Structure 1
Amino acid sequence: MANETHNAELSRTFRRYEDGVSEPDSWQDVIFKAGWSYKCPVYVQRTPTCQNGCPAGEDIRGWLDVVRGLDKPPEGVTWQEHAFRRLTRANPFPGVMGYVCPAPCEEGCNRRAVEDHVGINAVEQFVGEAALKAGFTFAKPAKETGKRVAIIGGGPGGLACAYQLRLKGHSCTIFESREELGGMLRYGLPNYRTPRPVVDGEIQRIVDLGVTVKTGVRVGRDISFKDIDKDFDAVFWAIGTQRGRIPEIPGADAPNCIGGIEFLREFNEGRLPEVPRRIVVIGGGDTSVDVTTVARKVGGFAGTKPDGSPLTYTADMVTQAAIHSGQKVTLTSVLPTNKLKAAEREVEDARSLDVAIVGNVMPLSVTIGANGRAVGVRFAPCEHTKDGKRVRVAGDETEIPADLVVFAIGQVADMDGLEALDNGRHAIAPGPGLQVIGNPKHFVGGDIIVPHLLATAVGHAAIAAEGIDAFLNGQPVPRRPHIDKRHFDIREGLPKNAKPVDGKVTSPDNVHNFENRAHREVIESDGLFLAHFATTPRIARTERRLSEIFSDGGTRITPLDEAQAVAEAKRCMSCGLCLECDNCVVFCPQVAVKKVPRDQKALGYYVTTDYTRCIGCHICADVCPAGYIQMGLGE
């Protein structure tokens, strides 16, 4: 008992410091213990969810940081130009994308956990329009490599690849089978979706880099595959899918049964003076909705001149009367009407034009009349099982009368003369880095791999351009990162005199307690301090109904003005990169987190930690809105 009492007294009277000692030992002696440590902050860059969802691979957070004023432009450069330069590293079509991209980036935006997504597409549209108004151009390469690349197809994928390759100094020749460049931008989308001056301006900006263009030339017909292979050092195939897929049902080969792509091409080439009164469109995706709205715009217009010859329907002609002409347009889909693949706003536009939409029906056959032409389509009710299979269900068959049947159920490529590349499914199979399997000097991108978004073709182009550049330089095609996007590089903005607080690093190649994990990690909303952000309503663009546009010929989407674009960009939470909010500096109880000197700071290099003071309390990480700070040093 005596010993126990004596030990208790010792523990109560134990003193860590001798009389007169006022300073503790170095915190490092406490923090660092052989193979383990208290958790101290590391500044970790990750990929935001918006960027992870962008098929074009844009550094969305990066150019939004420019618009909001966080990333200052160089002296003599406007923020509009600085944002344009940052954005177009990945995508040379910001104006076009602002009009037509369905913005998958916004679907994953972490801001949704606060109130609503950031209007990324709206801000991109503003940047693109501002660039066109200001006449921004791309700088030509300082040095030519002498290497020649053939680009087959002048759509968004081919143009984007030419852009990326010209920046690297390679000579590019585009072979386009049609009379004008643009591909689906020009021939596959109705002109009321994207103003033609925007399309023309962004295409011309790429051509002005010194791209050779040969239109009206189809490889496989006017020039052989062998000649292309022989005459160029590398080839990029971006031929797209230019034929509508026709289902294998009886009667589908009737002369008045066509694909949706062919229908839209006729419209955009000004060769659609009128359409029949009764049209059945089979699909449910964006193309099928475009077909129905074009049909309603053209209507039953009696397109003839006084001499009886056809009157060419121009893309800008407004036919208000056709909307009330008694024409019947029906859109059918195997999916329920509330689950169509087309964007909801597009479906509502079609409904506003009195398009009848019928869901859960599958086409059985096309009824052929005495003259050999289709006069109707027979349908049966159907539904989808849990595993996605389409099955017929009980119910009566129905027939919808039709003078024209448009199948918008998919697209296939025209591989005539290109059999050496055909993988047996009217497509070209890519290998690593989009290099064509079995043809090392050939690369491929866009819809010819698998039909998808315009932004996807642009993303493919950038990847292929890097592979082509490596191939032309005698290097292996680079291995792609897990998160294959454009990533912000902290080293770009660091001043030459930037030195970490600890004084151990003299090169910006190795920044004090910073780690870039953007190539392998995405930061979700649960990694952010959401309470930092006040509820701020999204500034939405004005989007007019097609019926209004057909009446007055105006623009469908009204871009944000400058003040609105800046305000909307400020809603971005800069997920995975420093927001420069000062929370970590203000709340650190040890004054261990400090701002870097003003003449050394850069985007992403704003604060640093003094580890002689840090006690691993986690407060800085807890209050970091962007999830940029991780307590992990020493693990």
Structure 2
Amino acid sequence: MRVTTTSDDLFHLRRTNLELMLSDHNAYCQPPCQVDCPTHIDIPGYLELIAQGEMKEAARLVKEVLPFPYILGLTCPAPCQQACRRTLVDEEIAICRMHGHAAETCLLDAPLPYVQDPPTGKKVAIVGAGPAGLSCAYYLALRGHYCKVFDMQPQAGGMLRYGIPEYRLPKDMMDRELDQVWQLGVDLQSNVKMGRDFELNDLFAQGFDAVYLAIGCWTSKSMRVPGEDAEGVVNAIRFLYDKVEGKPVPVKEGDEVVVIGGGFTTFDCTRTSLRLGATVHTTYYRTRADMTATAEEIEDGIAEGTHLQVRSAQQRILEENGKVVGIEYQRTKQGEPDASGRRRPVPIPGSEFTIACDTVIPAVGQAVDTKVLDDASGVKWTKWKTIQTNPHNFMSDREGVFAGGDCQIGASTIIESVAQGKLGARSIHSYLMGEDMSEVARRLELEERRPDLFDIVPYKPVEPKVKMPMLPYEKREKSFALIEMGYLKEQAQREAARCLQCACPAAGQCDLQKYSIEHGLADNRFHDGEPSDYHDYDTDLSHSFILRDPNKCINCTQCVRVCHDVIGPDCYGMFGKGFNTIVSTPFNVSLHDTDCVSCGACVQVCPTGSLMMAERSLSRYSFALDRCIFCGDCVEVCPHGALGETPNFELSFFNRFGEDVTLEKNDLANAPNYLVRQRLPRGKKDLPVMSPLVRPLPARSIRD
């Protein structure tokens, strides 16, 4: 007889069965915050370390995927916090500020995420020393590749240095973190611009094996209104650049300034102008909710003194003798949604009004300078004037040339650029190692897909959020001091401890996850309803050693069989009918109220993490050796092999206080006293005699 175990038909059959299992698998492998973070930091992991006071280890964990946790702690728009499930209890956790705090404590002695690989002999040229380019260099250097960064500015950092004001990101602190890139052996050549000082072909002629283009978006977009060339219209990027460089800027005390736009650059220009003593109006043609700046940034701008005008579309710049004297606006209302999903602004006839001013700073978007690449480069541009690449492995139309950051995805946030740099480094490393780039693209595409998520019921009590201490608004006037004053260690620990620890403990060891990845199941055709259409079972946390989450159960019945056929207590069974069938305890009582012997065999066979061992806080177990009858039951049921029989002695075990304890027959009559008096190391003789009873632990939550 011939048995076929692999075929196209079997693959699709297994895939369909997996989809059916996942259709009511009310759980997720990664917590929503980690999924929404572009770099996918292990957020529950580092928050738990911070809560324990392990700041350096927390920073090390973050740096596995985010090389600049201090910088991003101050500048990231925090998409992770918008997904934080703590909001189902009270307020979201200050996720970004937590890793910023951890990194700040060890800036002068920063940990590496892992040991740097030995040199590979491969050379990579990176054009652009912004967040994408430096992130790519950091991770490539860790893999043993030599990297040289070319940048048109005098100093590294890109928009981190020249586009973010000092009150948000102190440059001396930023440089301390950027120094960690150079310490890995990365070289920097400043004041050289592609297209002016060298061409792409020159880099390959110099012996580089690959090139990563991270040239950013340094060109301001036009407003396309009359009067835009008048004196007093200031380039937003140039304005911020000159302020950072200490050069004269066209805004001074008493000026009337209008800043146009709704993004981060808009409010950086707004708040910088306020600190220079100007009266500032900030205008935007859509609603406040449509602004891409964070709510916190907008609120701070208003509190610091800007006059915010929304639903106001600029029509023309008014000028006299070639100088700006005001702007004419027209009110708008919301129309039908456009291609982005936002409702299109529609002008309201007869609603025109004017704002008098002498300076206008348009911050309506940024673009890539396409002149940096000539036709001989072999690199093509998209219709949006970004570099055309494979969307998953980031290789351009020319082999060996990769691109990432703003020049590849358009003007974006810092965290998105860092994520691009990290993925670019992975792809370039695979290319240098001779891997099939189509397979690399497939693998990265699968990893970056967003899974379905549910609002699973949290199990934590209300705990007030620990607010970041901020510089008072009255002290911000004409001051560029850092506005975030920082957490104390105990404050950071208390805030980090609020984390619900949503991560599945079985992630990485779950058979369902493993087979789903093997069968390409990032999307599920049977999983398209509302969360209310799926089961939402209560988690059973009553047992001292075993946690039971029915939401992760796929009704494989392995726990039923091992408990009934191997161990014997018969704690589980199949209950319900049809779609409502579920593995549960008899009469759905808590596992604590069954005949469970805490052997953990059900946990060992569970393929999805529906059954998990609880974290144990005991340092030693209490038992009475003089009552032992040598039945061997403990040896038989222990799933971890922690107990065993020996041929020479009646009972042997390992003492956690430092010595092996072996008891012979003549010792057993007085075993507890014998242990304390004879076998414990020096300094432990005042310990109490072990209790002859084992008491179950009280019910507790997963992370208590």
Q: Normalised by the size of structure 2, how large is the TM-score?
A: 0.66
Instruction: Describe how 1:13-162 pairs up with structure 2 within 5 A.
Output: 46-69=29-52, 79-136=54-111, 141-162=116-137
| Counterpart residue type for residue 268 of structure 1 | V
2-side partners of 1:454 and 1:44: how far apart? 30
Partner of 1:450: 410
Instruction: Describe how 1:154-553 pairs up with structure 2 within 5 A.
Output: 154-231=129-206, 232-273=208-249, 275=251, 277-299=255-277, 327-337=278-288, 340-370=291-321, 372-387=322-337, 388-420=343-375, 421=379, 422-448=381-407, 449-477=409-437, 478=440, 479-481=442-444, 484=447, 521=451, 523-526=453-456, 528=457, 530=458, 532-550=459-477
Report the CA distance shift for 1:631/1:208 in structure 2 as closer, same or farther (over 3 A).
Answer: closer
Instruction: Describe how 1:546-585 pairs up with structure 2 within 5 A.
Output: 546-550=473-477, 554-578=481-505
Asked if 1 retains the 8 angstrom alpha-carbon contact of 2:286 and 2:345, the reply is no
Q: Which of 595, 600, 615 is the aligned partner of 2:572? A: 615
2-side partners of 1:113 and 1:122: how far apart? 20
Report the CA distance shift for 1:44/1:394 in structure 2 as closer, same or farther (over 3 A).
Answer: closer
| Counterpart residue type for residue 269 of structure 2 | V
The Cα shift of 1:207 comes to 1.1
1-side partners of 2:344 and 2:265: how far apart? 22
2-side partners of 1:463 and 1:542: how far apart? 34
| Counterpart residue type for residue 394 of structure 1 | P
2-side partners of 1:347 and 1:248: how far apart? 25
| Counterpart residue type for residue 428 of structure 1 | I
1:48-103 C-alpha deviation (Å, 9 max, x unpaired): 0000111222121222232234xxxxxxxx82222111110100111111111121
The Cα shift of 1:333 comes to 0.8
Report the CA distance shift for 1:482/1:425 in structure 2 as closer, same or farther (over 3 A).
Answer: closer
C-alpha RMSD of the superposition: 3.2
Q: SS at 1:362's partner residue?
A: strand
Partner of 1:10: none
> Structure 1: where are the runs of 5+ without partners?
1-34, 70-77, 300-326, 486-518, 595-607
| Counterpart residue type for residue 336 of structure 1 | T
| Counterpart residue type for residue 587 of structure 1 | H
1-side partners of 2:591 and 2:249: how far apart? 63
The Cα shift of 1:364 comes to 1.2
Report the CA distance shift for 1:618/1:110 in structure 2 as closer, same or farther (over 3 A).
Answer: farther
| Counterpart residue type for residue 224 of structure 2 | E
2-side partners of 1:450 and 1:227: how far apart? 26
The Cα shift of 1:198 comes to 2.1
Partner of 2:663: none
1-side partners of 2:121 and 2:211: how far apart? 15
Report the CA distance shift for 1:262/1:469 in structure 2 as closer, same or farther (over 3 A).
Answer: same
Asked if 1 retains the 8 angstrom alpha-carbon contact of 2:367 and 2:410, the reply is no
Give the fraction of aligned pairs with identical amino acids, expressed as a percent. 28
> Structure 2: where are the runs of 5+ without partners?
1-16, 338-342, 507-538, 549-558, 574-582, 593-606, 613-704
Q: SS at 1:389's partner residue?
A: strand
Q: Number of residues paired by the alignment?
A: 502
1-side partners of 2:235 and 2:364: how far apart? 8
The Cα shift of 1:119 comes to 1.8
Comparing 218-227 with 544-553, which one deviates more in the overlay? 544-553
The Cα shift of 1:161 comes to 0.4
Q: Normalised by the size of structure 1, how large is the TM-score?
A: 0.73
The Cα shift of 1:628 comes to 7.5
Q: Which has the higher contact order (CA 8 A, sep 6+)?
A: 1
Q: SS at 1:458's partner residue?
A: helix
1-side partners of 2:591 and 2:152: how far apart? 57
The Cα shift of 1:116 comes to 1.6
